[in-house]
Structures are given as structure tokens and as C-alpha cells.
Structure 1
Amino acid sequence: MDSGGSGLRVALGTVEADGAVETTVCDRPVRTGPAGIDAGHLLEQLLPAARRMLERHGAGAGPGIVSVAIGAAGMATLGGQLRAELPAALERELGVRRSALAADAVTAYAGAVGQRPGAVVAGGTGMIALGTDLTDWRRADGWGHLLGDCGGGAWIGRAGLDAAMRAHDGRRGGSPALLARLEAVFGPAPELPGLLYPRTDRPAVLASFAPEVGACAGHDPVAAGILREAAGHIAAAAAAVCPKAGTDGDPCEVALTGGLFRMGDPLLVPLREELSRQVPQARAVPGSGDPLDGALSIARALAKGDLRLPRHPALLCVPGDGPEQRPRTGIDRSE
């Protein structure tokens, strides 16, 4: 299962075969309250969907679900109730034998890189980088649009709108091209604060302007400069988490995943240049799968007893793992 801001996606697969036999979408995002992500609300959606899928594939009367992996946005900081309540509930309601609860950055890693050492940069409205040498996890950014997410969609959109407002005022650093796009998308520039500030989804609104920055970058030096700066931030996050090259000189794979990178060359060309400069041991690769693919691969590896990704109490929790089964845990932020 993959839980994010737009709802839940649930995939059912078999232990031996790759891929999913069925995927379904529950379009209600899971509520978050004072105790964090609401485990009861998640189960209200997950259990009926899982039972319908099992019945359609004739698994209801068989061995049932061997393993489950749940990836959720906010799991690392808001997942306490999920970790406390879901494993027992899944065993009781679905007969689940083993479960893994993961941050969405971990399922993004598993979907994009697999169970190999490397790093993933997940870019959308926000931006987070996660890497591992299969001993520890290293995380960089993902702190939200007020404290970080540097180079992500909201960051790019905000920088573009700032340049547009500068042009409206006649201040240095303004972009008439971006001002024209602001007015085409949002209306008169002086009305933008009244449209933006009352919104509870400000990061998404800011990120909606990022494609306009990308579209202007080919002919507007201010827009191109914004994307070069974003590329520098993204490469810096990758550099912070990328494992060092081994003694055999193998490069570190850095998978780029998420909607941000669909912007294409206006962002990818400067990003490749920045990765080459800041992380010379890195080799940028497209992600081979998304977070739901990653959750399914974690569940499959768990069923086979072959989950090699590092356990961590907040990032990747596998209830019932004995200490002798767990890799050393922790997040290394020493560099």
C-alpha cells in the first residue's frame, strides 16, 4: 500500500511473480490528527479493498496474505499510531503473517533502486533524498516547504513567482516572461497574495507554477537561473546521502523519481552537470518503479525472508524481527 496526499493505492501480488496482479485506488487521503496518522481511518479503507481483491483472485479461502508492506507519507514523524496498531490489526483481520511499515521515501527507494546500495532523489511538490549502503540510511531534506524541500516543485514555483513579482515592482532580478505567465495563470499580480495566503494547500499551489518556470527557461535567463539553482540544491542533497564508491570503483546509482523530473531537459541538463560536479562518483539513472512498486517489492522480499534494506524504527519497521536479524540501524548525518 502507498498512502499519500491524494489517497491510498493498494496492490496485490504473488510471492514468486514480479509485479501486481491487481491495483486499486482509494481516493480519500488518510486523516492526520493529534496522535499522527489515523490508523483507524487507514484500516477503514484498506480492509474492504484488500478483501475484495483477495476474493476476486480466489485467495480468500487459501493461505491469505503472507506479508504486507505499507508505505506512508509522514510515517517517519507521524506514524507512531500506525506502528503501534496496524500489525496486530492486519493479523487479526486478514491473517497477515509479517508486515513492514515504511516511510514513503523508503518505498520510493525500493521502487526506484531495489535492494542495492545507492540513492534516490524523490522530487514532486517537495524534495527528499535517501541513500543507503545497506547498513544505515542517510536522509537529506524533505523538511517541508518552510524549512527545506530545496529544489522541489514548491521551491521552484515560489522562486518563479518571486521573480514575477519583482518584475511587476520594477525590482532587480525580475522576469517579465514569468510575470506574463503569473497573470495568465492566476490573474493580476497584486491579487496573488489574497489568492495564495488563505489556502491550506499552499505548497501545491506554489508547485503548480514550476512547469511555467520550466517552459520559460529556454528563452528567459531568470527562469533558467532558477532551475540551475534548483539543480544545485538537488545535487547537494544527493551528495549528502550517496554512499561512497567501493574499492572496486563502482559508481553510486542515483535514481531520480517523481513528477518534478518530468520537466525534462530544462531541469535535467543542469542537474546532470551539478551531479557530475558535486557527486563525481554518482551515475544518474531513471527510477525503475514508483513507491507502490517499492511497497510490493518490500512485501515480496519480506515473504521470502530476503529483505536486505536496513531496518529503522521510524523509516522501515518490521515488527517481530529479532536483533540478530536486523542490520545496524540509524541515520548517518555526519557528512
Structure 2
Amino acid sequence: MTGAGYLAVDSGGSGLRVVVGAPGRGPLARASSDVPVRTGERGLEPGHVMEQVVPMARALCAEAGLERLEVAAIGAAGMASLGDALRAELPDRLARDLGVRRAALAADAVTAYVGALGSRPGAVIAAGTGLIAIGTDLARWRRADGWGHLLGDCGGGAWIGRAGLEAALRAHDGRDGGSARLLAETEEMFGPVTGLPGQVYPRADRAAVLASFAPRVGACAAEGDPVAAG
């Protein structure tokens, strides 16, 4: 075993990624989960974060030969508007369960910005399951969108997937704006469209389910389907 290391976590709409590393050596081991962090009455649930991160972090430390973790940096989608419980509880829980002495918590857009540009002025677009644009002149921060899959994230994976599924349902109903090609893709992926609401609405990971259809929308667009291209 070789001393202390750091923990880095990226939590997004389709799951989370975990890395451990050591100063001067960089990332040493990584893992991922396709289970997004649950959102409850208090926002993002700290218990669900720890339920996923702790076993992965311990296994990665063993793989990397690290004795302990001293620092943790967590970037989470929704931190700005849904992160009160995370800010209140995660530092203590990281200390208790993993021995972390210092913890930095930020929105995933901020960690994306720092990863791309460091401490320079500029702007980034963080596009995945959701979508947000963020920029700073190092005196003020400005953001656009990042309001989640029900209220915004226009152009993100969930938004594209939902638009494709809507076009499929329009074709099924015989309404304008439908796409027979997207209807066929929907039924190939999810089965009969009459059962689609039951596969989407009860899910806690609805954004990830919607985003899972986005690659098919892209493929249909590339093959010339005008609705998918639109």
C-alpha cells in the first residue's frame, strides 16, 4: 500500500463515475454505475450517493494500492438547485466512512469548466443526459439552462430522446409531425408503444431512460429521416 490518495466523483443524469488517484501519479483506478442518484423531498439523496460511492471507493483503493483517501471532489448534476442535503451531510459522511479530511462539492458544470479551462475566463457547454452552458470572467458566473429534463436541458440527451419518442407516438396516433421510422425504432427498443408510459413514468431514472433513445434518433437523422433530423 502506498499512502494517501484522492477521490473524484462525477454524478450525472445517467449514473456516476468514480476515480481514485494520488498526487503526482494521477488517476490510478476508476469505476462507474449506471444508476443515477435519487432525488427525494430534500433534493439529491446523500444516502444514495454514499451507498454507491463507498463500496466502489474501497474497491478502487485496494486495486490502486492506496492506504487511505484524504481528499474528495464531487461534481453533481443538480447541486445548485437540489444539493442542500448533499452540502449538509456529505462532508461528514465522507469523513466517517472513508476517512476523507477535505471535501469539495460543486455542480457538475463547474467541475466540467475547471477540467476544460482551469482558472481562465471562458465558457463551456456541458452536454450529456442534460445540458447546461456556464461561463465566467472570474468575477461573476453566468449560466444558461441546466433546469432538468422536465423543465429544460434543451439539446441534451433526454430532450432529444423525448422528442424522438413523441414523434413516434405521433406516428402511432396518425397525427402530424410523426415519424414511422422512429416508431419502428421505439417498438424495437421498448416493445409496443401502448406500454411505453408504464416503462417511463414510474422510473426514478426517467431522464436516463429518455436519453437512451437519443442515439437512435441520431442514427435515423443520419440516414435521412426528416423528423429525426429536425
Q: Does residue 157 of the first structure (1) align with residue 161 of the second (2)?
A: yes
Aligned to 1:104: 108
Q: Which of 208, 223, 226 is matched with 1:221 structurally?
A: 226
Where does structure 2 lack aligned partners over 5 or more consecutive residues?
Answer: 1-7
Cα separation, 2, equivalents of 1:166 and 1:133 = 45
Q: Does residue 9 of the first structure (1) align with residue 13 of the second (2)?
A: no
Aligned to 1:70: 74
User: How high is the TM-score relative to the length of structure 1?
Assistant: 0.54
Larger RCO (CA within 8 A; separation ≥ 6): 1
The one-letter code of the counterpart of 1:21 is L
Deviation at 1:119, TM superposition (A): 1.8
Q: Which of 181, 192, 212 is matched with 2:185 structurally?
A: 181
Cα separation, 2, equivalents of 1:72 and 1:202 = 17
The one-letter code of the counterpart of 1:186 is F
The one-letter code of the counterpart of 2:19 is V
Cα separation, 2, equivalents of 1:223 and 1:104 = 29
Deviation at 1:41, TM superposition (A): 5.5
Query: Cα deviations across residues 99-127 of structure 1 (Å, max 9, x unaligned)?
Result: 32111111122223333222221222221
The one-letter code of the counterpart of 1:224 is A
Aligned to 2:141: 137
- Report if the CA contact (8 A) 1:2-1:104 is conserved: no
Deviation at 1:30, TM superposition (A): 5.1
Change (3 A) 1:150 1:57: same
Aligned to 1:168: 172
Cα separation, 1, equivalents of 2:66 and 2:218 = 48
Deviation at 1:181, TM superposition (A): 1.8
- Report if the CA contact (8 A) 1:3-1:30 is conserved: no
Deviation at 1:76, TM superposition (A): 1.5
Q: How many residues get paired?
A: 218
Q: Does residue 119 of the first structure (1) align with residue 97 of the second (2)?
A: no
Q: Secondary structure at the match of 2:27?
A: coil
Change (3 A) 1:166 1:86: closer
Q: Which is richer in strand?
A: 2
Change (3 A) 1:135 1:169: same
Q: Secondary structure at the match of 2:132?
A: strand
Change (3 A) 1:192 1:25: closer
Query: Cα deviations across residues 187-245 of structure 1 (Å, max 9, x unaligned)?
Result: 333443344334343322222221121111131122111xxxxxxxxxxxxxxxxxxxx
Q: Which of 199, 215, 237 is matched with 2:203 structurally?
A: 199
Q: Secondary structure at the match of 1:20?
A: strand
User: How high is the TM-score relative to the length of structure 2?
Assistant: 0.75
Change (3 A) 1:135 1:181: same
Higher CA-based Rg: 1
Where does structure 1 lack aligned partners over 5 or more consecutive residues?
Answer: 226-335
Query: Cα deviations across residues 18-75 of structure 1 (Å, max 9, x unaligned)?
Result: x313335577765554444444554566567369728964655xxx73x432222332
Change (3 A) 1:6 1:89: closer
Change (3 A) 1:173 1:81: closer
Deviation at 1:168, TM superposition (A): 2.7
Change (3 A) 1:110 1:201: same
Q: Secondary structure at the match of 1:83?
A: helix
- Report if the CA contact (8 A) 2:130-2:156 is conserved: yes
The one-letter code of the counterpart of 2:29 is E
Q: Secondary structure at the match of 1:21?
A: strand
RMSD of aligned Cα (Å): 3.3
